Chains A and B, each alone.
Chain A
Amino acid sequence: MADRAGAVPAPPGAALKTRFDAIVVPEIPVMWRAAWAITGDPHEAEDLMQDALLRAFRFLDGFDGRHPRAWLLTIVRNTNVNRNRRRRPSLLPDGDIPESSPTVPSAPSAEDLATAGRFDERIEAALVSLSPKLRQVVYLVDVSGLTYDEAAAALGIPPGTVMSRLHRARRHIRGDLERHTDLGGRRS
């Protein structure tokens, strides 16, 4: 954005830093939740976030300013793909999800809760029993409050796929609850 008319431009680094503070910093909580959902591990997510913030700073100059949250969630996702590719290039196909993620931090095991019968505990147990791909969309949309479009940006998949995975996940959770609690008796 050099000024051809000869006006003195702001130092590029300082201007970038100001833009970074305005665009990126307010989105850190949402980026963090996405990083946590993608990796399933808070320490891993924090490392991922540091890389993603540096990457956002580097690419900020070329960002058109539209849909900053979606842009930043895409950066989080791409940064994670690059990190995984560096660490285990032969194990992770491009854009695929690590089979182990996300996990439920501090969640009791499904076996522990199988006989508990309490609604909220059963919810956690049902969540644990979901496949990683279904669990990720639940974390992003239901737990973290992202929209379909934002979750799609974080995962690199179409919003329609987010929707269908989410609906399958909820049906699975509901089925699990109906089998293990009195929910089935109250419903339908």
Chain B
Amino acid sequence: MRMRDLRSDMFTNRGGTSCVHVARTLQRYLDGDLDEAARARIAGHLAVCRRCGLDEQAYRDIKTALANNIDVPEEPIDRLRSFAAAISPTGMPPEQTGT
């Protein structure tokens, strides 16, 4: 009886959707890949389900750390803009000035 209660708890709607559904869609939620209605359902569940909320926080921490701590070298962008500006109207590459 208690096991059945536990299993049913896994599938119980909290905030409009179940833990199983949230587990399946959490990554898309974090990446902003859901439409507004789906996003709201997941957000509603996360607000009231501690376990799923902790999952969300763990993955959000990882995503934030990746975005903030891995440097993409940005210096070449200006050089590439200059390169693009110097492409001739016939599509020829800029003259190489030699290094």
Contacts and interface: CB of A to CB of B under 8 A. Distances in A.
Interface of A: 11, 13-14, 16-17, 20-21, 24-25, 28-29, 32-33, 36, 42, 45-46, 49-50, 53-54, 57-58, 104-106, 119-120, 123-124, 127, 138-139, 141-145, 147-148, 163, 166-167, 170, 173-174, 177, 183, 186-188
A70 B88 CA distance: 24
- 10 nearest A-B residue pairs (beta carbon): A13-B89, A142-B66, A123-B65, A57-B91, A120-B69, A42-B73, A46-B76, A143-B70, A187-B58, A167-B27
Nearest to A43: B76
B6 interface: no
Contact of A143 (B67, B81, B85, B88): B67
Interface residues of B, number: 37
Given A53-B87, A163-B28, A33 B69 contact: no
Given A21-B84, A49-B76, A187-B54, 9 more contacts: A28-B81, A32-B77, A36-B72, A45-B76, A53-B84, A120-B69, A123-B65, A147-B33, A188-B54
